[in-house]
Structure 1
Amino acid sequence: MNTDLGFIRKDVEINAEGTLIKGWLYLPLRKKNEPHPAIVMAHGYAGLKEMYLESYAKKFAQNGFAVVLFDYRNFGDSEGTPRHEIDPWQQVEDYRHVITYASSLSEVDSESIGIWGTSYSGGHVLVVGATDKRVKCVVSQVPTISGSKIAHRRVNGDALTELLSSFAEDRLNRQRGGDPVYYSVVPGGEFENSVYKSKDALEFYLKGSEKFNNKVTLRSIELSRGYEPGAFIANISPTPLLMLVAKNDFITPTDLALAAYEQALEPKQLALIPGGHFDPYTQYFDQSSNAALEWFKTHLFD
Structure 2
Amino acid sequence: MRKDIAFRTEDGVTLRGWHYLPDGRAGRVPTIVMAHGFSAVKEMYLDRFAEAFAAAGLGVLVFDNRNFGASDGEPRQEIDPWRQVRDYRDAITFAETLDETDPERIGIWGSSYSGGHVVVVGAIDRRVRCLVSQVPLISGHANARRLIRADRIAAVQAAFAADRRDRMRGAAPAMIPVVAEDPAAVCALPTPDSWRWFTATHEARAPAWRNEVTLRSVEMFMEYEPGAYIAHVSPTPLLLVVALGDHLTVADEALGAYERALHPKQLVCLKGGHFDAYVDGFAEAAGAARDWFARHLLQA
TM-score of the two chains, using structure 2 as the length reference: 0.95
Residue 173 of structure 1 aligns to a residue whose secondary structure is helix
**Aligned positions of 1:77-88 closer than 5 A:** 77-88=70-81
> Offset of 1:31 from its aligned partner?
4.5
Residues 171-191 of structure 1: CA deviation (Å, up to 9, x unaligned): 1111211111111011169xx
In structure 2, the partner of 1:4 is: none
> Offset of 1:193 from its aligned partner?
2.5
Q: Which is worse superposed, 205-214 or 130-139?
A: 205-214
Distance 2:150 2:100 in 1: 54
Distance 1:29 1:254 in 2: 37
Distance 2:131 2:244 in 1: 20
2:37 to 41, 44, 48: 44
Structure 2 counterpart of 1:79, one-letter code = D
Residue 28 of structure 1 aligns to a residue whose secondary structure is coil
In structure 2, the partner of 1:16 is: 9
In structure 1, the partner of 2:22 is: 28
2:289 to 280, 287, 292: 292
Distance 2:168 2:295 in 1: 50
Distance 1:281 1:160 in 2: 31
> Offset of 1:53 from its aligned partner?
1.1
1:118 to 108, 111, 119: 111
Residue 207 of structure 1 aligns to a residue whose secondary structure is helix
Say if 1:31 and 1:141 are closer, same or farther in 2 by CA, change over 3 A.
closer
Distance 2:283 2:252 in 1: 24
In structure 2, the partner of 1:164 is: 157
In structure 1, the partner of 2:257 is: 260
The percent identity for this pair of structures is 50
**Aligned positions of 1:199-210 closer than 5 A:** 199-208=192-201, 209-210=206-207
Residue 51 of structure 1 aligns to a residue whose secondary structure is coil
Distance 2:250 2:173 in 1: 29
The answer to whether 1:243 aligns with 2:237 is no
How many residue pairs were aligned? 292
Structure 2 counterpart of 1:45, one-letter code = F
Structure 1 counterpart of 2:242, one-letter code = V
Residue 274 of structure 2 aligns to a residue whose secondary structure is coil
> Offset of 1:199 from its aligned partner?
2.3
The runs of 5 or more residues in structure 1 that have no matched partner are: 1-7
In structure 1, the partner of 2:226 is: 229
Structure 1 counterpart of 2:101, one-letter code = V
Distance 2:151 2:137 in 1: 25
**Aligned positions of 1:262-281 closer than 5 A:** 262-281=259-278
Distance 2:137 2:272 in 1: 17
> Offset of 1:151 from its aligned partner?
1.5
Residues 52-111 of structure 1: CA deviation (Å, up to 9, x unaligned): 111000111111111011011111111111100000010001100100000111100000
Contact 1:206 1:212 in 2 (8 A): no
Distance 2:152 2:106 in 1: 43
The runs of 5 or more residues in structure 2 that have no matched partner are: none
Contact 2:241 2:270 in 1 (8 A): yes
> Offset of 1:202 from its aligned partner?
1.0
Q: Which is worse superposed, 197-206 or 275-284?
A: 197-206
> Offset of 1:196 from its aligned partner?
2.1
In structure 1, the partner of 2:47 is: 54
Distance 1:23 1:68 in 2: 7
Contact 1:186 1:214 in 2 (8 A): yes
In structure 1, the partner of 2:168 is: 175
In structure 2, the partner of 1:136 is: 129
> Offset of 1:290 from its aligned partner?
0.4
Distance 2:254 2:241 in 1: 9
Q: Which is worse superposed, 43-52 or 148-157?
A: 148-157
Residue 223 of structure 2 aligns to a residue whose secondary structure is coil
